[in-house]
Amino acid sequence: VVGGRQVGIADAPWVVALSSRDRFGGTRAGQFCGGVVVAPTKVLTAAHCLGREVLGGEPWEVRDFAVIAGRASLRGQGGQEVRVSDTWINPDYDPTTNSGDLAVLTLVSPLPESYVIGVARPEDAAYAPGTAADVYGWGDTTGRGSYASALRTARVQVLPDTACERAYPGGSGVRYRGDTMVCAGDPQGGKDACQGDSGGPLVAGGLLIGLVSWGSGCGEAENPGVYTRVSTVLPERF
């Protein structure tokens, strides 16, 4: 998160870190992506977090990583480290366009009900352009590879689809689509998600509206952040 501030886990108990088990320890505990708790045994993250494009090599297997919940400082010992029993990658996820970038992790043991955040519905007012929204993560704070060991958040706003259609017209490959993505950012620039925040939550009106997915650079006024539109991409039952 660039342009944000540090936040305690009591203010965002639904935010989790995905951590590589063979890189566990160290100041960032192997954190490679974010996630969000939507039921005691269900965590949403970005599909691309589990793909070959993260850290290279083979797609992640459930034995390779764990979810760290209830912990803001990755140097700390609080909260829970929970293993994953199953992953569901959205079958409509398209890595060439980035559409549908969502995966569901099933945890081996339940987290407290108090960690669960509600998911917005498609017609929810929280999606209206101009709505204030908060993004959370342990990702790059500078755009130059300086990662946070303590959770951070930045206040952005939901932007009209046209802002991202203009920034990301695509043609070939990655492009913005308002039906499966949400456009959000800081019209002045400076506040945004960044590398390492992928899979983490975008929250508006107390509801989950998006997952950090992609964008060009970090905090550039003319290049907003693009988020997975959870309300349309997440199946009714998961």
Query: Where does this chain bind ligand 4AZ (CB under 6 A)?
Result: 192-195, 197-198, 212, 214-215, 218, 225
Q: Is there a catalytic annotation at residue 48? A: yes
Q: Give the residue from 122, 170, 145, 154 showing the smallest Cα distance to 225.
A: 154
**Residue whose Cβ sits closest to ligand 4AZ:** 215
Q: Output 25-32 pairs: Cβ under 8 A, ≥24 positions apart.
A: 27/74, 27/75, 27/149, 28/74, 28/138, 28/147, 28/149, 29/68, 29/74, 29/75, 30/65, 31/68, 31/74, 31/138, 31/147, 31/196, 32/65, 32/196
Q: How far is the CB of 77 from ligand 4AZ (least distance, A)?
A: 27
Q: How far is the CB of 218 from ligand 4AZ (least distance, A)?
A: 4
| Cβ nearer to ligand 4AZ, comparing 79 with 215 | 215
**Active-site pick, 19, 20, 48, 186:** 48
| Cβ nearer to ligand 4AZ, comparing 79 with 199 | 199
| Cβ nearer to ligand 4AZ, comparing 80 with 195 | 195
Q: Give the residue from 16, 69, 8, 62 showing the smallest Cα distance to 211.
A: 16
- Sequence-ordered alpha helix ranges (H) in the chain: 161-167, 230-233
Q: Is there a catalytic annotation at residue 20? A: no
**Active-site pick, 19, 20, 99, 101:** 101
Q: Is there a catalytic annotation at residue 198? A: yes
What are 195's two structure tokens? 């590398």
Q: How far is the CB of 142 from ligand 4AZ (least distance, A)?
A: 12
**Phi (first) and psi of residue 132, to 5 degrees:** -70, 140
| Cβ nearer to ligand 4AZ, comparing 213 with 231 | 213
Q: How far is the CB of 29 from ligand 4AZ (least distance, A)?
A: 18
List active site positions. 48, 101, 198
